[in-house]
Copies of this chain bind each other. A is one copy, B any other.
Amino acid sequence: MSSLDSALQQVDHNSDAAISRLFDLLKIKSISTDPEFSDECIKGADWLVAELESLGITASRRDTAGHPMVIGHSDKVEGRPHVLFYGHYDVQPVDPLDLWHRQPFDPIIEQTSEGDVIRARGAADDKGQLMTFIEACRAWKEVEGTLPVNVTFLFEGEEESGSPSLVPFLEANKDELSVDLALVCDTGMWDKNTPAICTMLRGMLGEEITITAADKDLHSGMYGGPAANPIRILSKILADLHDDKGRVTIKDFYEGVDPLPPQVKAQWDSLNFNESEFLGAVDLSVNAGEQGFTALEQICSRPTCEINGIDGGYTGEGFKTVLPAKASAKISFRLVGKQDPFKIRENFRAYVRNQLPVDCSVEFEDHGASPATTMSIANKAFENTRKVLSEEWPQDAVYAGCGGSIPVVGYFEELLDMESLLVGFGLDDDQIHSPNEKYSLQSFQKGTRSWVRILHTLANS
């Protein structure tokens, strides 16, 4: 039996123990965006250090101004390629909790019409995904005593809260972290039978605005009319962010957005992306986005502006005729091509200030800014990975754009001069960032086997 086949067999042999290890990690409530869960983030980091050490990896928790990083290094063998694997151990908040069918941090295997799934917050984003890589390393270690390539591990605990410590950390540890190629697992499959390598990521700009009018909440019977209402002002500002064709109205917003090259459009059209099915999966039927583009184009090649949260006045049970002093909204922009997030932030803030009536003030909170990234596929690791993924899964692997944003990929390029290979096994219906998040058991098991194959091919790339 070849060493590859032995390692693949070892993955299957380890299956139950691997699920049990993943469950241990999923039980840790590492919500990074809420300070109440800081200790749980530390617990998550410590768990990963111990896990890496159990594989013979030299690992340590590296504290930052925010949640800690985890760094691990395999014993270096000269002459082998050196890769850095990136994942994050923090997760999204769980609200609205009442929409979960079970406790978010009490993982379980559930049988569904689509096959078995692992149900828990973080199952797909990103704990299940990062464990596919660790389990692949375990299989290699167990059968060969060593990994096929030199591996540095980098696990972050602030991915879901704008990664405030990431850039300073990369800058301070440039020599330690800059290797031949980064592997990033925070992406998805094309569909449940077709693996994908992500070759384009949208950037993101996160902004929060709070509009204040009077210096206190007022009684709408007494002040309703003459006093400015910040919810009304905020609504107007948000309503005017798009024109009636679904285009963003902020000055110079589309600067740096190139038309899709005809050959890429042709490739995408050949993928037979089923827009009705995509929308139908969430009970929608009509594309509500920018006119003149398919959903696939909108997600992979067009920028967007979304309101992610809004809050003002009385929102509890019943009714209260308050005229509130403040109202606020969280807004995110997904960016493509050469759009400059800092320039867009400036123009967005100018737009808000210009819309503001007398007596009203606005506060801005910055929730991160990163440009879009396009991967070059010239590196032969890409094509070799595509080939071995095609061996593992029923359908051949594809290169695809990805609507999400993974700022770390841009930082690796800028700060560490390091390309990234993005492979992940999430599915569109994993409900990441939503109640009842899940990860397909097949994704976990065949994902682990996929990394076994990728590590093997990287040794020869």
Contact surface of A with B, Cβ cutoff 8 Å: 32-35, 92-93, 95-96, 99, 160-162, 202, 204, 206, 208, 213-229, 231-232, 234-236, 238-242, 275, 278-279, 282-290, 295, 298-299, 302, 304, 306-324, 327-330, 332, 334, 357-359, 367-368, 402-405, 428, 431-435
A313 touching B321, Cβ below 8 Å: no
Which residues of B lie under 8 Å from residue A285 when comparing CB positions? 358-359
* A238 to B236 Cα, complex, angstroms: 8
Q: Beyond the given A220-B304, A222-B404, A228-B288, could you list 16 further A-B residue pairs with CB under 8 A, ordered by the A residue number?
A: A99-B216, A218-B282, A220-B332, A224-B299, A225-B298, A225-B403, A226-B284, A229-B288, A232-B242, A235-B238, A306-B323, A307-B312, A309-B324, A310-B311, A310-B312, A320-B433
Option from B202, B221, B307, B433 in Cβ contact (under 8 Å) with A403: B221
B242 touching A239, Cβ below 8 Å: no
Residue of B nearest to A228 (CB): B288
Residue of B nearest to A334 (CB): B224
Which residues of B lie under 8 Å from residue A236 when comparing CB positions? 235, 239
A313 touching B318, Cβ below 8 Å: no
B313 touching A319, Cβ below 8 Å: no
* A450 to B321 Cα, complex, angstroms: 29
A434 touching B216, Cβ below 8 Å: yes
Option from B33, B35, B282, B316 in Cβ contact (under 8 Å) with A214: B282
Option from B368, B404, B435 in Cβ contact (under 8 Å) with A319: B368
How far, in Å, is A369 (CB) from chain B's closest CB?
12
B221 touching A302, Cβ below 8 Å: no
How far, in Å, is A316 (CB) from chain B's closest CB?
6
Question: Nearest 8 pairs between A and B by C-beta?
Answer: A221-B404, A33-B318, A309-B313, A225-B298, A215-B283, A225-B289, A226-B295, A239-B239
Do A314 and B330 form a contact, CB below 8 Å, given A225-B299, A304-B225?
A: yes
B284 touching A228, Cβ below 8 Å: yes
Do A288 and B226 form a contact, CB below 8 Å, given A99-B216, A434-B216?
A: yes
How far, in Å, is A128 (CB) from chain B's closest CB?
16
B310 touching A227, Cβ below 8 Å: no
* A93 to B319 Cα, complex, angstroms: 10
How far, in Å, is A181 (CB) from chain B's closest CB?
24
A286 touching B239, Cβ below 8 Å: no
B327 touching A310, Cβ below 8 Å: yes
How far, in Å, is A204 (CB) from chain B's closest CB?
7
B403 touching A302, Cβ below 8 Å: no
Do A316 and B93 form a contact, CB below 8 Å, given A238-B232, A283-B214, A310-B231?
A: yes
21 contacts between A and B (CB under 8 A): A33-B320, A92-B320, A160-B320, A161-B318, A217-B434, A220-B304, A220-B332, A221-B403, A222-B403, A224-B403, A239-B239, A286-B359, A308-B319, A308-B321, A308-B324, A309-B322, A310-B311, A314-B330, A319-B330, A319-B332, A321-B433
How far, in Å, is A450 (CB) from chain B's closest CB?
21
Residue of B nearest to A314 (CB): B309
Which residues of B lie under 8 Å from residue A311 when comparing CB positions? 310-311, 315
How far, in Å, is A268 (CB) from chain B's closest CB?
14
* A32 to B318 Cα, complex, angstroms: 9
Residue of B nearest to A303 (CB): B225
A359 touching B284, Cβ below 8 Å: yes
Do A235 and B307 form a contact, CB below 8 Å, given A227-B279, A316-B93?
A: yes
Which residues of B lie under 8 Å from residue A313 when comparing CB positions? 307-310, 330
Which residues of B lie under 8 Å from residue A33 when comparing CB positions? 316-320
B225 touching A321, Cβ below 8 Å: no
Option from B220, B316, B320, B431 in Cβ contact (under 8 Å) with A334: B220
Option from B215, B227, B289, B329 in Cβ contact (under 8 Å) with A226: B289
* A304 to B34 Cα, complex, angstroms: 39
Option from B321, B324, B357 in Cβ contact (under 8 Å) with A332: B321
Residue of B nearest to A296 (CB): B226
Which residues of B lie under 8 Å from residue A287 when comparing CB positions? 226
How far, in Å, is A231 (CB) from chain B's closest CB?
4
Which residues of B lie under 8 Å from residue A318 when comparing CB positions? 32-34, 161-162, 367
